[in-house]
Structure 1
Amino acid sequence: MVRRTLLLLTPLLLALSLAPPAHAAQAEVYVALGDSAAAGPLVPNQIHLGCLRSDHNYPRLTAQAIGAATFRDATCSGAETEDMYQPQSTELGDVPPQLDALTPDTTLVTVQIGANDVGLTDFIEDCLNLLPPPIGDACNDDYNVGGQDKWRVDTDALRPHLTTLVSDIRARAPQARIFMVGYGTYARPDGCYPRVPIIKADANYIRATLMYFNQMLAEQAAAAGVGFIDLQTPSVGHDPCASSSTRWIEPYVPASPAAPFHPNAAGMRGFAGVVTAAVTGAVTGAL
C-alpha cells in the first residue's frame, strides 16, 4: 500500500467528508473464484462437500468484513483454470463453471488459481522424504528435464491463460475490481526436517519454486491491469514448520482440521485480514 503524505491525503479526505455517506462496502457484489487454497478443504464448517468448501474460508470472512451485500463463493478444491469455463467434476457430481457466478453487477472479484494447473501440491507431497539421504533421495533433481526446470517451464506456460482469464472476467463483470491472489509460504529456508519430512535441498527448491510462481502471478496481474494480493510475505513464520499455535498452513500430518499443506482456520483468518485490507484499500483509493 502506498504511503502518502498528509498534504497529499488532505484533498482526498476532504472530498470524502463532503460526499454523501458511502455505501460502497455494503453495496459490494463480491464473487470469489479459486481452488482449494481459497475454498478451505476440511476447515470447519464444510458447506459444499463436493468442493470441500468452508464457511470460514478467507473469501467468506472477507465478505463479512466488508459487509458485502451479495457474496457468491465459487471456489472449489482441485480447480484448474479450465474449470473457470467448464463444469468441474467432484466426488459428489459436477459443479458449474466458476465464471458462471459472475454477473454484470459484480463489483469485486478475487481469483486464486493456477497451482493445480502445474501440480504444485502434488509436487510438495512428492518431496516428502521419511528417510534422509543417503537412504532417501532428494526430489529436486527429478524436475530438471533437458537442462530446464519443469516447474518454471510449466509456470511460464500458464501466463497467457491467466491473461485470457482476466479478460474473460472483465467481459462478464465490467464494473468489477479484480484481484489475483497469490499463494502462502509453504516452506521456510532450509525446512525443518524431520518435523516436516522434506530435506533441506528440497525445502529450498519448493520455496524457490513457489516464489517464482507467485512472482509470475504478480507480473500477470500487473500486465492485465488488475490488483495482486501477496499472501506469501504475510505468512512468513506461519508456514508448516511453525508450531501448531502459530502456523497458518498445515504440514503433511495436520494438527488442525485442514488438508495437508493447506491453510487451517487461523490461516484463513490471517489471509482474510490481508485480502480485506487490499480490497478496502482499493475502494478508498489508497492502493
Structure 2
Amino acid sequence: MTLHHPPAPARAALAAAGAVALFLTLAQPAGATPGTTGDLQEHYVALGDSYSSGLGIPTQTDADCGRSDSDYPSLVAGALNVADFTDVTCAGATTADMTQPQDSAPPQLDALRPDTTLVTLGVGGNDLDLTGVVTQCVLVGYLAPNGAPCKLSYTPLGSDIIGNRIKDVGSRIDAVLKEIHVRSPRARVLVVGYPGIVPDDGSACRDLIPFATGDFPWFRDKEKQLNSLLAEQAGGNDAGYVDLYGPSVGHDACQSEGVRWIEPQDTEQAAGFHPNAAGHRSAAGQVLAALSR
C-alpha cells in the first residue's frame, strides 16, 4: 500500500499541532511541584525583538513595539493556559534593551518577578545590525548582481566584521541570562533562535531578494553562526535552546506564498524579512516541544 504524505506546509502544521497536544497532555494540575510542566502555567514572560514580537502580523496590539496577538509567545501562552502572561517583546530590541529603556518601552527584564516560572528570550540579531546588513546586501546586489559584493564589504583585508559582532554578542547574551536567573530563580528559561531567511542550499532568488548570487550562502552562514552562538550561551547558562532554523528549511523567504514562513518584503502578512503567522505557529510548536522534553 502506498502512503500519501501531506505537503510540507501541512506536515509542519501537523507537527506543531502535535507538539501542542503533547505538551497539554503532559501538563500537570495547578499546585504541581517546581520544575513540572504545571508550574510553567503560573507566570510566563516573553522577551525579545521583532522576530519574537510578530512585527507586521495582524492584529498588532502595540504599534510602538510591533507586537502581534498572534506572535509565538501568545500562542505558547494560550496553549499552556498560562494564568499570568507578560509579553514585552519589542521590534528593534537589542541585548542592551533588556536592562535599559528602549524609547518609551521600559527595560524588558523589569517584567520578571521572583515567581516567574517560564521565560523565552529571542534577541541578538539587532546587536549585529541585521537590518543594516540586509540593506547593504540589497544595495550592492543591485550594483553588482554576481559574485559576493556584500561579503566583500564586510570582510576587508581578510577581516570578518559580522563574525566579530557575533562573538561580541556572546558576552551580552551571557549577562542577560545570568540576570534572568537572578531575578527569576524559579523560571525555566528558553533561548529561541532565528529561522532561516534565505535558502539553506545557498541558492538565489534575485526576483524576491535582490542580493548578489554569491551573498546568499554568505548570509546563510552568518545566520547559522549566530544561532550556534545562542545555543552555546544557552547551554552554558542553565537554559534550553529552541532551534527554529532546522524546521524552517524549505520555508525561507525565497519560497512561494503559502510555503514561506519569512516574507521577502513588507506584505499584509508580516514585515519584510520577518516571520509571518505560519512562521510563528511553527515557532510556538518548537517552544512547546522543547518544554515537553
Q: TM-score with structure 2 length normalisation?
A: 0.83
Whether the aligned pair in 2 keeps the contact of 1:25 and 1:67 (CA below 8 Å) is no
**Which one is further off, 118-127 or 228-237?**
118-127
Q: Distance in 1 between matches of 2:120 and 2:145?
A: 42
Measured in 2, the distance between the counterparts of 1:211 and 1:60 equals: 26
Match of 1:202 in 2: 215
1:41 matched residue in structure 2: 55
Pick the aligned partner of 1:236 from 241, 246, 249. Answer: 249
Change (3 A) 1:146 1:138: closer
Secondary structure in structure 2 of the residue aligned to 1:224: coil
1:270 is aligned to 282
Query: C-alpha offsets along residues 98-156 of structure 1, whole Å, 9 cap, x if unaligned?
Result: 0011001100000001110111232123212346536x972110001342211110100
Question: Is 1:223 aligned to residue 236 of structure 2?
Answer: yes
Q: Determine whether 1:112 maps to 2:122.
A: yes
What amino acid sits opposite 2:111 in the alignment? A
Give 4+ residue runs of structure 1 displaced > 4 Å after superposition. Answer: 19-23
SS of the residue aligned with 1:88? coil
Q: Which residue of 2 aligns with 1:260?
A: 272
Partner SS, residue 241 of structure 2: strand
For structure 2, the residue ranges without an aligned partner over 5 or more in a row are 1-27
Amino acid at match of 1:272: A
Q: Alpha-carbon deviations, 1:74-94, whole Å to 9, x = none?
A: 1000001110111111xxxx1
2:179 maps to 1:165? no
> How does the TM-score come out when normalised to structure 1?
0.85
| TM-aligned CA deviation for residue 236 of structure 1 | 0.6
Residues 4-15 of structure 1 aligned to structure 2 (within 5 Å): none
Q: Specify the code of the residue in structure 2 equivalent to 1:48.
A: D
Aligned-residue RMSD, C-alpha: 2.3
What's 1:175 paired with? 186
Report the CA distance between 1:191 and its aligned residue: 2.1
Q: Structure 2 vs 1, CA of residues 77 and 123 (structure 1 numbering), >3 Å: closer, same or farther? A: same
By percentage of residues, which structure has more helix?
2
Cα displacement (A) at 1:165: 0.7
- Of structures 1 and 2, the one with the larger relative CO (CA 8 A, separation 6+) is 2
- Alpha-carbon spacing, 1:48–1:133, altered in 2? closer, same or farther (3 Å): closer
- Report the secondary structure of 1:87's partner residue: coil
Matched, 1:121 2:103: no
Provide the rounded CA distance (Å) in 2 between the counterparts of 1:149 and 1:84. Answer: 27
